[in-house]
Amino acid sequence: MAAFAVVRPGMLTTVQDLGRWGLQHLGVPVAGPMDWYSHRLANRLVGNAENAAALEMTLLGPELIADADLSCAVAGAALDVIVGEESVNPDDVFTVHAGKRVRFMLRRPGARATLAVRGGIDVAPVLGSRATSLISRVGPFGGRALAPGDILPIGAVPISGGSQGMRLPVSSGGARVRVVAGPHAERFSAEALRRLNGSKYVVSPQSNRMGFRLEGPHLTAAASVQADMLSDATPVGSIQVPPSGLPILLMADRQTTGGYPKIATVITADLPVAGQLAPGDWIEFFPVTRTAALDALRQRLASLSSAPA
């Protein structure tokens, strides 16, 4: 079986598919990519199913060596890609020939990139998924990030060829994302809602795949609201507000339930945009209707099969 061997793992590189869905009621986190769009696109480019396992690379990519000719694609953050000693165009499908190394150098806009390999990364599934959940230590390699010496087996090459799609627009330094009202919006004062939707927050260094801690204006509960509430489900993109008043944007490795009120939720179409943020980047929220959120998701999905301009 063909494989990549890990020479250097990069800053934080994990195996991910689209997530371990259907087990949250048992306390099993979903995990999956921080940028679901780029994960799907990279797989489509090499002819894989969109849910095939790939590598999510954070800030600094790994160095890998191939033991067979492997067709690869990168999507998400803009990275310089070196195969052997030659630069390749990261916007095109490229081949890493047997015995050659692939390295990822200078990062420009974006914090996370997906590396898909034709055939998919064929590690053993855990609870029906190949996603790595760092918070629960579930998934490939015992639920940890890659380490030197790890072997990444590649699955059978699909019969179908690759397809084209639009790259995710990735801005540098920050992003505006759309939100819908959260399930506990009524627990917050009108001033808190105005602050959330009219302020610029900064992603704290204490952020990770579980959630982005945001620095900026504090959000306060309405005077008539009791402080305590029962824990309930925590969808990806939820903006929960702990007693400190500083919001936390829950991301791919979020817990399954939480006891903090959720003031808003980032729409699914904009989760990939949020997933490209790094500590120190800014984020702004602006409200949309649920109808607009569904329209935005349809447009995002349509971009997966749209030819680049």
Closest CA to 229 of 242, 216, 217, 215: 242
Question: Each residue's pLDDT tens digit in the chain (309 positions)?
Answer: 899 999 999 999 999 999 999 999 999 999 999 999 999 999 999 999 999 999 999 999 999 999 999 999 999 999 999 999 999 988 899 999 999 999 998 778 999 999 999 999 999 999 999 999 999 999 999 999 999 999 999 999 887 778 889 999 998 899 999 999 999 999 999 999 999 998 999 999 999 999 999 999 999 876 556 566 788 899 999 999 999 999 999 999 999 999 899 999 999 999 999 999 999 999 999 999 999 999 999 999 999 988 775
Q: Could you give the 3-state DSSP secondary structure of residue 298?
A: helix
Distance (Å, whole) CA 41 – CA 68? 23
CA torsion sign for 292, 297, 299, 300 is positive
- pLDDT of the residue at 153: 98
Give the DSSP per-residue string, 146-208: --TT-EEEB-PPPSS-----PPPP--SSEEEEEEEE-TTGGGB-HHHHHHHHH-EEEE-TT--
Q: What is d(CA 36, CA 112) in angstroms, rounded to the nearest whole number?
A: 11
Beta strand pairing status for 174-181 and 282-287? Answer: parallel
**pLDDT score for 305:** 85
Report the pLDDT value the prediction gives residue 226, as an integer from 0 to 100: 57
The structure tokens listed for 54 are: 């790939």
- Ordered structural domains, the chain, with CATH: 3-153 (2.60.120), 174-303 (2.40.100.10)
Tokens of 225: 């609201």
Residue type, position 149, single letter: G
Cα(143)–Cα(96) distance, rounded to whole angstroms? 27
CB-count exposure of residue 230 (10 Å: 0-12, 13-18, 19+): exposed
Distance between CA atoms of residues 241 and 210, nearest Å: 15
